[in-house]
Chain A
Amino acid sequence: MANDPFPTESMRLKSLLTHLARWRVAALLLGATAFLTGCDLNFWRMDGHQSTIVVNGPVARSQLEVFYVTCYVTLAIFVIVGSVLAYTTWRFRAKSAADEHAAPPEQGHGNPLIELGLIGASVLALVIIAIPTLKAIWFTYDVPVEDKANVYEVNATAFQWWFRFEYPAEQIPGSGTLLASNELVIPAGRPVRITLRSMDVIHSFWIPKLAGKVDMIPNRGNFIWLKADAPGYFWGQCAEYCGDSHAVMRFRVIALGPREFNDWLNQQMAPARTVAAAGGDQPKAQFASYRADWRRNERGYSEKFELNPLDAWRAHQEPDKTEDAALIAKGRELFQAKTCFSCHVIRGHMVGGSSAYPDLTHVGARTTIAAGLLENNPEQLARWISHPDQVKPGNKMYVTGYLGNNIKLTPADVTALVAYLSSLK
C-alpha cells in the first residue's frame, strides 16, 4: 500500500490546502470583524490587568492551582462522558422512517452495577478536587505561621464609591494614623494583612492578580492577606454590587521594594507640599483651558500610561517642573472658598475635613483619581471637578457637596484648583 508515498503525500497536501482555503474565508471574516471592532482575537490568553490566570502572588497562585485541578478533572470527565454521549447519539439514532417504526428496542430498566460503579467513580473524582481545595482554604485564609512575624498590617475601609487605606504602623504626631485613598501602596515580598471594613453598604475587595476577593461588610470584621512577589502596579475593583457607581468603584495597589516603600512612607507622613513663589517679580497666574466636551462615561486612561504603569507611578511622585506658583496659591484659596476643605483633609494646609472623605494631602502623587477611574492628569482632574455627576453617577461629592453647598466653578476656578491639587505630591 505504501509503495509510493509521494502521491499520497501530495494528495494529503492538496486536501490540506483546500481545507486551508476553506478556513481562510472564515479567518478573513474573523479578521474583518476584529479590524472593524478594533479588538484583538486572543482573548483566551486572559492576561489583562485583572487576570486571575497570570498572577503575581502566592494567594492568587494557590487559588489558581485549585482552579486548574478542578479544570483538568472536569475536562477529563467531560471528554469521557461527552464521547460516550456523542457515540450513543450517533450509533443509536434512527436513520430512517423504517427505524422509527421498527419493533421497539429491548425495554431494559437499568443496570445497578454500572450505576453504582459510576457513583463510585464520581466520588473518586471529587476527592481528587477536595484535597487541594481543603489545603488551599487554610492557606489562603490567613498568613502562614512562619511568615507572621514579617507581616505588614493595613486597614481598608469602603465607602460608596471609594476606598480608604489606613497604615496603623505609621502614626503622624498630632494627626494620627497615616491615611491614603484609592491607591494602596504595600511592601513587595512581605505578607500584607488587610483589615476590611465598610461604612455603608456591602463592598468587596478584589485585586485579582494578588488574591481572590473578600467582602467588606458593615458590622463585620473581615480581613484578607496577600503578598506581591515583586514590585508592581495592580488593578483592583469592588466586586459586590453597591449602588449606582459600583462599576466605577476601582482602586490600585502599588507594591514597592523595601527602600522605595520607606521613601514613600516618609513622603506621605510629611504634611502637604507647599510650592514657594519664585523670588522677584511675582508672575501672573496663567489660566490654561481644558477640554470641556467630555461625553458621559468617556474613557479616562491613556495608552502611554499603560506601557509601564509602575514607572508612570514613580514619575507621578516628582513635582511638575512647569508649576505656576501663583496659580497654585489661587487654587489653595479656592479650595477653602468653595468649601472643599469642609470634607477633604489636606494635612498642613488647612484645618477641616474628616476621614470619612478621601484624604487629599498627597493627591498629586496618585496615578488615578475618582477611585481608580480616571488617570490623574490635569485634563482628567479638570473633568472630574467640573462634572463629577457625569463621571461617577450618584457620587456624594456632587450630590451633597456641589448641590448641597451650591458650588459653581468657572473654567478659571477649575484651572487653579487643578494646579493646586496636582502640586500636592
Chain B
Amino acid sequence: MDVTAKSHFTTHGESAPAKSYVFWRPTAKTGLISWLTTVDHKRIGFLYGLFALFFFLVGGSEALMIRLQLMVPNNNLLTAVQYNTMFTMHGTTMIFLAVMPLGAAFFNIIMPLQIGARDVAFPRLNAFSLWTFAAGAIIVNIGWFLPDGPPITSWVGYAPLTSKLYNPNHSTDFWILGLQLLGVASIAAALNFIVTIINLRAPGMTMMRLPVFTWMTLVTSFLIILSFPAITIALVEVMMDRQFGTNFFEVSNGGMPILWQHLFWIFGHPEVYILILPAMGIISEILPTFSRKPLFGYPIVVFSGACIGFLGFTVWSHHMFTTGMGTVATAAFSLATMAIAVPTGVKIFNWIGTLWGGHLKMRTPMMFALGFIWMFMIGGFSGVMHAAAPADAQQQDSYFVIAHFHYVLIGGSIFALLAGIHYWFPLVIGRQVSDFWGKLSFWVIFVGFNVTFFPMHFLGLNGMPRRTFTYDGNMGWNTANYIATIGALILGVGIGLYFAVMIYTFFKGEKANRDHWDGRTLEWSLPNPPPEYNYRVIPTIHARDAYWYEKHHREEIAQENAVHAQEDEAHGGIHMPYQSIYPLVASCGALLGGFGACYHTLVVALAGGLVLLSGIYLWAMEGAEGYHIHLDAEGRIVEDPHAKH
C-alpha cells in the first residue's frame, strides 16, 4: 500500500526542468491562468460545480417556460417549435450539464479527501475532462445564439426524427457532437476516479473501509465507462447517417430505427443510476453524521449499490415496453426491473436503521436527506408501477412518467446534491451556512416540488401525454396543470432562495470551525478550506469511520503521523504536480473540431482534431513532473517551492 500511495515521490524529484517556450509550466497560484491551468482536484471540482449550477439554473428556467405554457389550455406563450426546444434542452441540460457534472464536482472534491489522497491519479487528465465537458456544453447550447436554433429532437433523440430528412438544419448536429464530447469527458473522468480509488487509498483504507460515497463514486464510474460507449456508437452512427449518407437508421434503405432505442437505453438506463448512485452515497454520509451513529449494515448498503449498478445493465428495455417486443422479452425485462426494487429498498431500510437509536441533529443537510428518503420512496413506488409492463402500457410517455422520474431525479438526485452542498460547504469553502435560511429554502423547495409533481400522477392516469405543447380544455387536465405551474413557481422561488443563501454565505458567511458537523469520515480531519496538498501526512486508517476513530484515539494517531511526517521529509517533502496548459489546449481542439463537424466542414473538423492531437502530444511530452512542499510544525509552507525554478 505504501508503495502505491507514494508512487509520486519516485519521479523526477527536485531537478528543475529546463525552461522552454513549448514546455512552459505555469506557476501562478491566483488569477485566471491559475484556474485555466489548474490540476488541483478541488479547484477542478469547484469549477465543475460552478458550471453545473449555472446549467441547473438554465435548465430550471427552461422548465419554468414549459410550466407557464401548460398553465392553461390552448396557451400561446410559446410556439410549438419553441416548446419542443424547451423540453429537449431542459432534459439534455439537466441530465448531462447539471446533475452529472454536479456529481462529478463531488467526486472530484470529496472522494480524494475521503480516501486520504493528495490528488486524483491523473491530475492533468482531470483538467482535460473538465474543459472537454465545457466544450460539450458549449456545443449543445450554441444553437441558442445561431440561426439554426438549439436541438429539438427531445433528449432521447429517437431515430429517424434525428435524420436529415426530418431535421435538416444543424441543431441536431449540435446535440450529437455536444453529447459526444460530454461522453469523452465523462469516460476520461470516470477512468481517473477508478484508478484513484484503486491505487491512491491511504494505508489501511481497505475496500470495506471506504466511505460509502467513495464506493458509489467507484460504482458510478464503472457504470460510466461501461455505458457511455453504447451511446458513443449510437451517436457515431447517426452522425454518419447525417454526414456521409450511411443507412444505420435510414428507413428507406432498410435501416432500423429500433436499433437507436436499444443502444440509447443500454446507455440510458445505467445513466439513471449514474445520476442516483452518487446521491445515495451522499445520503449515506449525511445520515450517519447527523445521527452520530455508523451506517446501519454498511456491507449490505455497499453491496446493494453495486447490485443496482449491475442490474442497471439488464433492464434497458423497460423503456421500450410499448415497442412491441413480444411477450417473453417484455416479461423478462419486467421481472428484472422489479428485481432492482430489492437492493433499492434495502438502502431505504438501512437508512432508517441508521436513524434508529441515534441522536438526530435536525440541520439543513439532514432535512434534505430526510426529504430525499421520502421523495425517493414515492419515486421508487411509481417505478415499481412502471415495472409492471401492462400498467406501463398506459403510463409510458404520459405525465405519470414525468411525475415518476422527477420524484427520483429532483426528490432523489437534486435533494441529495443540495444536501451535499450544505453538508460539505463548511469544509470546502470554510464558511458556515445559516441553518434558518437553509431550512427555509428546504421547506419552500419541498412544498414547491410536491405541488408541482404530485398532480402529474393524476394527469398521466387521466391520459395526458408528455412532450405536448398544448392541450384542450375539455380533457379534465386543467386544474392539475394549473396547480403544477403554481408549484413550479414556488419551486423556483425555493431554488432562488437556496442560491441566494449560498452566494451570500460564500462571500459574507461566518467562518466555520474545523470538523463543523462532528464528522465521521476522513475529510473532516482537514482544516477548512483544505490546503492544496490536502494531507500534511498521509493518514493511516484503522477503522471504517476513520476520523471518528481518530477522534477517539488521538494519541495513537498523533504518534503515527509524527513518524510518517519524518518519512515524508526523508523522501523530499510533499510532492505536488505542476500545472499544465495542454489539457485546455486539447479541449479547445475538441471544441473547434466538434464545431467543424456540426457544420459538416471537413477542414475545420480536421484543424480541431490537429489541435486536439498536438495538445495531447505536448501534454505527454512535457512529462508528469512536479515540485515539493515543506511544512513547518504549524502546517505553514516554509519555503517557496517555485523559487528554485
Residues of A participating in the B interface, judged by any CB pair closer than 8 Å:
34, 37-41, 43-53, 60, 62-64, 66-67, 69-71, 73-75, 77-78, 81-82, 84-85, 88-89, 92-94, 99-100, 102, 104-112, 114-115, 118-119, 122-123, 126, 129-130, 132-134, 136-141, 160, 196, 200-202, 204, 206, 208, 211-215, 217-220, 222-223, 235, 237-248, 295-301, 303, 306, 393-394
The 10 A-B residue pairs with the shortest CB-CB distance, nearest first, are A50-B463, A212-B393, A48-B476, A247-B468, A110-B297, A222-B324, A74-B381, A136-B390, A393-B80, A39-B479
A63 CA to B480 CA, complexed, in Å: 23
4 additional A-B pairs beyond A100-B361, A241-B84, A247-B83, beta carbons within 8 Å, are A41-B479, A50-B462, A92-B359, A394-B80
Q: Which of B334, B388, B389, B463 contacts A69 (CB 8 A)?
A: B388
List A contacts of B342 (CB < 8 A).
119, 122-123, 126
Are B352 and A63 closer than 8 Å at their CB atoms?
no
A301 CA to B473 CA, complexed, in Å: 9
Are A94 and B362 closer than 8 Å at their CB atoms?
yes
Does B635 lie at the interface of the complex (its beta carbon under 8 Å from any beta carbon of A)?
no
Are A110 and B360 closer than 8 Å at their CB atoms?
no
Does B296 lie at the interface of the complex (its beta carbon under 8 Å from any beta carbon of A)?
yes
Does B384 lie at the interface of the complex (its beta carbon under 8 Å from any beta carbon of A)?
yes
Are A220 and B258 closer than 8 Å at their CB atoms?
yes
Q: List 28 A-B contacts (CB under 8 A).
A: A43-B478, A52-B461, A62-B390, A67-B395, A77-B381, A78-B378, A108-B293, A108-B296, A109-B298, A110-B298, A110-B300, A110-B350, A110-B353, A114-B349, A115-B297, A115-B300, A118-B346, A126-B384, A133-B331, A134-B334, A139-B390, A160-B166, A204-B397, A218-B160, A240-B397, A241-B154, A299-B472, A301-B474
List B contacts of A214 (CB < 8 A).
322, 324, 393
Q: Which of B297, B355, B463 contacts A92 (CB 8 A)?
A: B355
A108 CA to B154 CA, complexed, in Å: 48
List A contacts of B470 (CB < 8 A).
247-248, 297
Given contacts A119-B342, A219-B251, contact A39 B388 (CB under 8 A): no
Shortest distance in angstroms between A225's beta carbon and chain B's nearest beta carbon?
A: 12
- Residues 356-375 of B, flagged 1 when their CB comes within 8 A of A and 0 if not, give 11111110000000100110
Does B471 lie at the interface of the complex (its beta carbon under 8 Å from any beta carbon of A)?
yes
Are A52 and B374 closer than 8 Å at their CB atoms?
no
Shortest distance in angstroms between A125's beta carbon and chain B's nearest beta carbon?
A: 8
Given contacts A122-B341, A241-B154, contact A217 B390 (CB under 8 A): no
Given contacts A43-B480, A223-B324, contact A67 B255 (CB under 8 A): no
Are B257 and A63 closer than 8 Å at their CB atoms?
no
Does B493 lie at the interface of the complex (its beta carbon under 8 Å from any beta carbon of A)?
no
Are A240 and B389 closer than 8 Å at their CB atoms?
no
Are B345 and A118 closer than 8 Å at their CB atoms?
yes
Are A107 and B294 closer than 8 Å at their CB atoms?
yes
Closest to A55 in B: B394
A43 CA to B475 CA, complexed, in Å: 10
List B contacts of A38 (CB < 8 A).
478
A231 CA to B80 CA, complexed, in Å: 35
Does B327 lie at the interface of the complex (its beta carbon under 8 Å from any beta carbon of A)?
yes
Closest to B324 in A: A222
Are B359 and A100 closer than 8 Å at their CB atoms?
yes
Does B604 lie at the interface of the complex (its beta carbon under 8 Å from any beta carbon of A)?
no
List A contacts of B461 (CB < 8 A).
46, 51-53
A50 CA to B348 CA, complexed, in Å: 35
Are A239 and B393 closer than 8 Å at their CB atoms?
no
List B contacts of A141 (CB < 8 A).
326-327, 330
Residues of B participating in the A interface, judged by any CB pair closer than 8 Å:
72-76, 79-81, 83-84, 154, 158, 160-161, 166, 251, 254-258, 291-294, 296-300, 322-324, 326-327, 330-331, 334-335, 338-339, 341-342, 345-346, 348-350, 352-353, 355-362, 370, 373-374, 377-378, 381-382, 384-385, 387-398, 455, 458, 461-480, 482
List B contacts of A69 (CB < 8 A).
388
Given contacts A130-B338, A140-B390, A394-B80, contact A297 B468 (CB under 8 A): no
A167 CA to B609 CA, complexed, in Å: 56
A247 CA to B73 CA, complexed, in Å: 12
Are A51 and B462 closer than 8 Å at their CB atoms?
yes
A299 CA to B352 CA, complexed, in Å: 50
Q: Which of B256, B324, B361, B473 contacts A299 (CB 8 A)?
A: B473
A212 CA to B396 CA, complexed, in Å: 9
Are B76 and A295 closer than 8 Å at their CB atoms?
yes
Most chain B beta carbons < 10 A, residue from A70, A75, A102: A70
A273 CA to B135 CA, complexed, in Å: 63
Given contacts A140-B390, A213-B322, A247-B80, contact A206 B161 (CB under 8 A): no
Most chain B beta carbons < 10 A, residue from A219, A297, A299: A219
Shortest distance in angstroms between B312's beta carbon and chain A's nearest beta carbon?
A: 17
Shortest distance in angstroms between B83's beta carbon and chain A's nearest beta carbon?
A: 8
Q: Which of B323, B349, B389, B473 contacts A137 (CB 8 A)?
A: B389
List B contacts of A299 (CB < 8 A).
73-74, 472-473
A229 CA to B383 CA, complexed, in Å: 30
List B contacts of A118 (CB < 8 A).
345-346, 349
A200 CA to B159 CA, complexed, in Å: 10
Given contacts A217-B323, A223-B324, A247-B468, contact A297 B75 (CB under 8 A): yes
Are A105 and B292 closer than 8 Å at their CB atoms?
yes
A48 CA to B477 CA, complexed, in Å: 8
Shortest distance in angstroms between B215's beta carbon and chain A's nearest beta carbon?
A: 16
List B contacts of A245 (CB < 8 A).
80
Closest to A63 in B: B390
Are A137 and B356 closer than 8 Å at their CB atoms?
no
List B contacts of A105 (CB < 8 A).
291-293, 357-359
Given contacts A92-B358, A138-B327, A220-B258, contact A133 B300 (CB under 8 A): no
Are B475 and A49 closer than 8 Å at their CB atoms?
yes
Given contacts A85-B373, A111-B353, A222-B323, contact A66 B469 (CB under 8 A): no
Are A239 and B398 closer than 8 Å at their CB atoms?
yes
Are A109 and B297 closer than 8 Å at their CB atoms?
yes
List A contacts of B348 (CB < 8 A).
81
Closest to A392 in B: B80
List B contacts of A106 (CB < 8 A).
293, 357
Most chain A beta carbons < 10 A, residue from B292, B322, B356, B390: B390
Are A208 and B391 closer than 8 Å at their CB atoms?
no
Shortest distance in angstroms between B495's beta carbon and chain A's nearest beta carbon?
A: 23
Shortest distance in angstroms between A24's beta carbon and chain B's nearest beta carbon?
A: 20
Shortest distance in angstroms between B556's beta carbon and chain A's nearest beta carbon?
A: 18
List B contacts of A70 (CB < 8 A).
384-385, 387-388, 391
Shortest distance in angstroms between A117's beta carbon and chain B's nearest beta carbon?
A: 10
List B contacts of A200 (CB < 8 A).
160, 166
Most chain B beta carbons < 10 A, residue from A34, A75, A111, A202: A202
Are A215 and B324 closer than 8 Å at their CB atoms?
yes
Q: Which of B299, B300, B463 contacts A52 (CB 8 A)?
A: B463
A206 CA to B395 CA, complexed, in Å: 11
List A contacts of B251 (CB < 8 A).
218-219
Are B80 and A115 closer than 8 Å at their CB atoms?
no
List B contacts of A34 (CB < 8 A).
479
Shortest distance in angstroms between B611's beta carbon and chain A's nearest beta carbon?
A: 37
Given contacts A100-B361, A108-B296, contact A137 B331 (CB under 8 A): yes
List B contacts of A88 (CB < 8 A).
352, 355-356
A160 CA to B160 CA, complexed, in Å: 12
Are A93 and B362 closer than 8 Å at their CB atoms?
yes
Shortest distance in angstroms between B384's beta carbon and chain A's nearest beta carbon?
A: 6
A67 CA to B398 CA, complexed, in Å: 14
Are A202 and B158 closer than 8 Å at their CB atoms?
yes
List A contacts of B79 (CB < 8 A).
296, 393
List A contacts of B476 (CB < 8 A).
43, 45-49, 51
Are B346 and A115 closer than 8 Å at their CB atoms?
yes
Q: Which of A45, A71, A102 contacts B359 (CB 8 A)?
A: A102
A128 CA to B443 CA, complexed, in Å: 36
Are B463 and A48 closer than 8 Å at their CB atoms?
yes
Are B257 and A104 closer than 8 Å at their CB atoms?
no
List B contacts of A242 (CB < 8 A).
161
Are A306 and B474 closer than 8 Å at their CB atoms?
yes
